[in-house]
């Protein structure tokens, strides 16, 4: 597996990042099996793992910590904070108070002295970005965190954070983690050029668009199941945008077959073939799923294949706006009403 530079940090990471969201009650409750999957990923050349404190209520971090016992130095380890960890309104968000507590909790669960990449899971409309950056800067200076990053920030929010870092002499976000797939291409218009312009790495999540590009849901299959981790609007087959996605998936499946690829390989290769993408986060629940992802790391799509994908989903277009992770706060009713 050929490694890539993580922005301008000098760190080299694999083009596939092992996402640990499905380890624990959200996906695979078998800890031993989850650890085997992690070890198989490491043995295959993946040196990048991404998790978050909120995944399975902390169980994901626990499992990753157990799996890395004796192998910690092999891995560039990333985790995230921000999402609610309890009913307590102070156990969430980007405040200094919570960051200082959240990092200690993650370090304990991960069974490590330091986190390579500590990311803000979402931007906060209620917290000054300078407060968040100030707390994260202190963690870097204390040696508990090596680098910091953002997740699901818009282009303007990325620029604001970079400006605040330079203006206040604070650590800057060196990565952004946005959603990106053939069906969700909105970041191509603004986020990716912004990230590239600031020399950041891009760790994209959901390259299979929540399972839409896995081949699991086709026009002749039953209605898609939903879970607490997947908003119903993204999988409601009565919605025109989702029916459009079914049509596109059929065309993509044919394109993949014509080129000797699986739909999964085509989807992941599309993401990591973009020059602005450092790594695609893949989140297997089973060993079989992991094995189906691995070949994509070595696939380069021809220009004619990329052109056909562009015909099916135009650059910069997200087929179903419900698949975006941006505008959550800005587009709420209360934010728009005068």
User: What gap in Å lies between CA 330 and CA 289, rounded to an integer?
Assistant: 36
Mean residue pLDDT of the chain comes to: 93
Of how many residues is the chain composed? 338
DSSP conformation class of 223: P
Task: Say how far residue 284 (Cα) sits from the centre of its chain.
Answer: 13
Task: List C-alpha distances in Å: 191 to 6, 172, 316, 334.
Answer: 16, 16, 10, 25
Using DSSP's 3-state secondary structure scheme, residue 293 falls into helix
- Is 55 assigned a catalytic role? yes
Q: Which two tokens stand for residue 86?
A: 């309890």
211: left (phi over 0), alpha (psi -120 to 50) or beta: left
205-210-213-217 Cα dihedral, nearest 10 degrees: 180
User: What gap in Å lies between CA 19 and CA 280, rounded to an integer?
Assistant: 9
pLDDT tens-digit map of 227-277:
445 557 777 777 888 889 999 999 999 999 999 999 999 999 999 999 999
Task: List C-alpha distances in Å: 61 to 66, 77, 111.
Answer: 9, 11, 9
**Cα dihedral sign, 92-94-98-104:** positive
User: Can you give the pLDDT at residue 125?
Assistant: 85
DSSP conformation class of 126: S
pLDDT tens-digit map of 227-240:
445 557 777 777 88
Mean pLDDT by 10 residues, the chain (338 residues): 96 98 96 98 98 98 98 97 96 97 98 98 93 98 98 96 98 98 96 97 96 79 52 76 93 98 98 97 97 98 98 96 75 73
3-state secondary structure 196-222: HHCCCEEEEECCCHHHCCCCCCCCCCC
User: Can you give the pLDDT at residue 227?
Assistant: 46
pLDDT tens-digit map of 6-35:
999 999 999 999 999 999 999 999 999 999
Give the global pTM: 0.93
User: Considering 3, 55, 205, 326, which one is annotated as catalytic?
Assistant: 55
User: Can you give the pLDDT at residue 220?
Assistant: 62
């Amino acid at each position: 597996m050929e490694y890539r530079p993580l922005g301008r940090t000098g760190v080299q990471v694999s083009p596939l990042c092992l996402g640990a969201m499905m380890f624990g009650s959200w996906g695979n409750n078998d800890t031993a099996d989850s650890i085997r999957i992690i070890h198989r990923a490491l043995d295959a050349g993946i040196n990048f793992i991404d998790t978050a404190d909120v995944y399975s209520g902390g169980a994901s971090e626990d499992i990753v910590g157990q799996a890395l016992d004796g192998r910690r130095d092999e891995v560039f380890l990333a985790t995230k904070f921000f999402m609610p960890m309890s009913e307590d309104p102070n156990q969430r968000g980007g405040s200094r108070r919570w960051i200082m507590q959240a990092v200690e909790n993650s370090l304990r669960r991960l069974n490590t002295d330091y986190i390579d990449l500590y990311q803000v899971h979402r931007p906060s409309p209620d917290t000054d970005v300078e407060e968040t950056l100030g707390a994260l800067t202190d963690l870097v200076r204390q040696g508990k965190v090596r680098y910091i990053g953002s997740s699901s920030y818009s282009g303007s929010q990325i620029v604001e954070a970079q400006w605040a870092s330079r203006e206040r002499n604070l650590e800057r976000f060196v990565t952004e983690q946005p959603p990106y797939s053939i069906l969700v291409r909105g970041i191509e218009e603004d986020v990716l050029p912004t990230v590239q312009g600031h020399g950041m790495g891009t760790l994209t999540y959901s390259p299979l668009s929540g399972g839409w590009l896995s081949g699991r849901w086709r026009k002749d299959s039953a209605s898609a199941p939903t879970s607490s981790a997947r908003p119903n609007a993204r999988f409601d087959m009565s919605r025109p945008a989702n029916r459009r996605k079914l049509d596109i998936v059929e065309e993509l499946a044919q394109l993949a077959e014509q080129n000797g690829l699986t739909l999964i390989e085509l989807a992941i290769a599309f993401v990591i073939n973009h020059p602005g993408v450092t790594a695609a986060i893949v989140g297997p629940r089973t060993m079989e799923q992991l094995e189906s992802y691995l070949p994509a790391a070595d696939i380069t799509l021809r220009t004619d294949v990329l052109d056909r994908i562009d015909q099916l989903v135009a650059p910069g277009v997200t087929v179903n706006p419900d698949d975006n992770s941006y505008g959550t706060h800005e587009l709420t009713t209360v934010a728009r009403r005068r």
